[in-house]
């Protein structure tokens, strides 16, 4: 489904994530990108006692609000993704070693990708959404894990795999929207923006 932006509406994605940008681009929505000036590490520490849903939504809201305070007339979309296995949260791995450790734990098991989304306007949150996807990974040998890391370089990917790329081949099954797994659940965003008459569908 392709969605067009009304001429008097402005949409901003509060993210520097290339995959989130591609998700919106592929939907046909025209938008600008502004990176939120949020210290995620400090924010995560302050939110550490919240449950996963509250954690995701609070991080998404913080990103959207920060940009909305600078771009008050726009619909600002903030998003956050958290990968969880057995109550352990996996951050971006950044290194080959961390990728290997994460994928070794996920190998042969089911884990969750959690996605929180917040839309703000005029410095206030006007909508939020939470979605969860369940993924079951194949049992991978050490060599298969190392070969995957070398080929796909998932150093900035939540869960140490790029589902939009070769990472999709690591799984036996998935349950949930593909865009949730990728970090920006699309259909509810389109539904909300349409209800605001911000889009022509």
Q: Tell me the per-residue pLDDT of 145-190, one tens digit each, with 9 for 90 and over.
A: 999 999 999 999 999 999 999 999 999 999 999 999 999 999 999 9
Q: Does domain 4-200 have CATH number 3.90.950.10?
A: yes
CA distance 45 to 36: 18
> Which stretches within 78-141 are classed as H helix?
96-106
Say which range, 47-51, 69-73, 185-189, has the weakest mean pLDDT. 47-51
Catalytic residue among 8, 39, 41, 80: 80
Amino acid 197: pLDDT: 87
Question: What are residue 76's DSSP bridge partners?
Answer: 12, 120
Amino acid 128: pLDDT: 98
| Domain spans in the chain, listed from the N-terminal domain onward | 4-200
Contact (CB, 8 A) for 3 and 199: yes
Structural element, H or E, at residue 25: helix 18-27
User: Catalytic residue at 147?
Assistant: no
Using the predicted structure, report yes or no on whether residue 60 has a pLDDT greater than 50: yes
Rounded to two decimals, what is the model's pTM? 0.90
Amino acid 198: pLDDT: 83
């Amino acid at each position: 489904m392709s969605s067009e932006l009304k001429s008097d509406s402005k949409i901003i994605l509060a993210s520097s994530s290339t995959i989130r940008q591609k998700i919106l681009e592929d939907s046909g929505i025209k938008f600008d990108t502004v990176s939120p000036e949020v210290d995620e590490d400090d924010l995560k520490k302050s939110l550490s006692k919240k449950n996963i849903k509250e954690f995701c939504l609070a991080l998404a809201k913080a990103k959207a609000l920060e940009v909305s305070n600078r771009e008050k007339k726009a619909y600002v979309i903030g998003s956050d993704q958290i990968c969880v296995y057995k109550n352990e949260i996996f951050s971006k791995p950044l290194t080959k070693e961390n990728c290997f450790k994460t994928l070794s734990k996920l190998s042969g098991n089911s884990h969750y990708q959690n996605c929180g989304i917040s839309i703000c306007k005029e410095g206030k949150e006007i909508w939020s959404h939470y979605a969860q996807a369940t993924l079951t990974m194949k049992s991978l040998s050490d060599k298969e894990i190392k070969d995957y890391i070398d080929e796909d370089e998932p150093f900035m990917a939540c869960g140490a795999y790029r589902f939009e790329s070769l990472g999709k081949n690591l799984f036996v099954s998935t349950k949930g929207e593909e865009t949730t797994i990728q970090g920006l659940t699309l259909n509810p965003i389109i539904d909300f923006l349409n209800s605001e008459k911000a889009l022509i569908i």
